Amino acid sequence: MRSILGGDTEKKLKLRPPGTMAQIKLSTKLVSEKSKQFLSRLHIDDSFLQVNVSSWDNDAAFLEAKRRINRLKVVNDTAERAVKLMTDYNSATIIAKTILVRCIQELGNLYPDCKKTTYAKEKLP
């Protein structure tokens, strides 16, 4: 079979009959060192990576790993930081507004009649 670009298509793509994907072992390209580090940090036995994918449903190590990983809570750190930032900003704004209102109240107590003449009299000796 010749392709449009030239050469044999079957040699380039290495075609496999349907149904053989589940019978192969997990490729080392799919499971990196970081994957193994992740499993070891969670104290998960990674022996199931050495057996065929089709037998994982019956493998005790895989079932335990699946159970533990499904129980993990995923956290969106960026969203949590944004919420914290807005909460802190709003708290600071509320505090600043409270202080401003107190200052205005104190000025109102010092100068009960808000007229220019009152301020002018205070400044003159």
Q: Are 12 and 3 in contact (CB under 8 A)?
A: yes
Residue 3: band (very low, low, confident or very high) from pLDDT cuts 50, 70, 90 = very low
Put simply, whether the predicted model's pTM sits higher than 0.75 gets the answer no
CA atoms within 13 A on the CB side of 119: 5
Check residue 63 and give its pLDDT: 92
Which residues are 8's β-sheet partners? 2
pLDDT in tens, 17-61: 554 444 445 555 677 888 888 888 888 888 888 888 888 888 899
Residue that the structure tokens 């944004």 belong to? 82
Per-range mean pLDDT, top range of 20-29, 59-68, 115-124: 59-68
Q: How far apart are CA 62 and CA 56, in angstroms?
A: 6
Residue-range domain boundaries for the chain: 23-70, 77-123
